[in-house]
Amino acid sequence: MTIALGTAWHPRGELNRFLNLLAQFQQAYSGMAFALPPEVDPDLVDHLQGMTQVEVMVTPDWSWGRYSALQLALEFSTTHIHYADFDRLLRWVETRPEEWHDVLAKIQESDCLIIGRSPASYRTHPKALVETEAISNLVVSNLIGLPLDVSAGAKGFSRRACQAILENSKPGFALGTDAEWPLLVNRLGYQVEYLAVDGLDWESADRYRAEAADQHSQKEAAALYDADPQNWSRRIAVAMEIVQVALDAATRKINPDSKT
């Protein structure tokens, strides 16, 4: 079996960190597909395009990022696709590479593996995320019938499950894909599995740093995040989007023949 990476990356100073780990990424994945925002620095695009095993797409709208990453990853002839938000994935590889490798092996045994956060991982996040994501996670968990943290931006699919998702969805839902993808897979009869990990702790404190932030820096950044009412408002809107997309994905017409 083989696995490709599909990732949406909104760059915030992570390139050098990625280059330091490039050999590990190239060894783990048969190919890497990057979806980037429209305003991305052209020099970064050129840098990625010069790498082996890499495909790049600059999206027409950033809300297309995750869908485009999944679509682009299918251009590699692999049996499985690992989707991950790149900032989270980079921190995971930096801080817990053995756990990351273990999960890649687990993905290749599944049609759909939702990768969530352990209690220790979740405690590193601002309260604004924890309390609002509890609502959207509960909705998706009830619709699927399995306790899930779907909002960690990390999932694994077999090639056939990935193709079925794309056939029954469209770009533009952005963070709503956290709910949409597992719900579509579940409705199409694929088994949804779940695994919580320590490595998906809060990544936003890493922005524009030379390496992953330590626990003290994470805690300080989380406190500052919670102190801004606009961040609470933003996270409520994200939770609402995920719930709305979940309800749509649970009821929309789908093509049962897309499961092959």
Query: Percentage of the chain surpassing pLDDT 70?
Result: 99
pLDDT for res 258 = 78
Characterize the bridge pairing of strands 54-58 and 80-84. unpaired
Task: Specify the 3-state DSSP secondary structure of 188.
Answer: coil
pLDDT of residue 202 exceeding 90, the answer is: yes
pLDDT of residue 160 exceeding 70, the answer is: yes
Strands, sheet with 3-8, edge to edge from the N-terminal-most edge strand:
54-58, 31-36, 3-8, 80-84, 154-158, 112-117, 192-197
For the purposes of burial, counting CB atoms within 10 Å of the CB of 106, is it exposed (0-12), middle (13-18) or buried (19 or more)? middle
pLDDT band at 177 (very low <50, low <70, confident <90, very high): very high
pLDDT of residue 218 exceeding 70, the answer is: yes
Residue-range definition of the domain harbouring residue 189: 3-258
Reported as a single tens digit per residue, the pLDDT across 110-144 is: 999 999 999 999 999 999 999 999 999 999 999 99
User: 28: which 2 tokens?
Assistant: 């783990």
The CATH code of the domain that includes 139 is 3.90.550.10
Q: What does the alpha-carbon distance between residue 48 and residue 246 come to, in Å, rounded to a whole number?
A: 34
User: 186: which 2 tokens?
Assistant: 């579940």
Reported as a single tens digit per residue, the pLDDT across 64-103 is: 999 999 999 999 999 999 999 999 999 999 999 999 999 9
Q: What does the alpha-carbon distance between residue 56 and residue 73 come to, in Å, rounded to a whole number?
A: 10
Indicate the number of domains in the chain: 1
pLDDT of residue 233 exceeding 90, the answer is: yes
pLDDT for res 147 = 96
pLDDT of residue 260 exceeding 80, the answer is: no
DSSP 55-84: EEEE-SSGGGHHHHHHHHHTTS--SEEEEE
Question: Is-contact 195 102, C-beta < 8 A?
Answer: no
The H or E element spanning position 112 is strand 112-117
- Beta-bridged to residue 36, according to DSSP, are 58
pLDDT of residue 55 exceeding 70, the answer is: yes
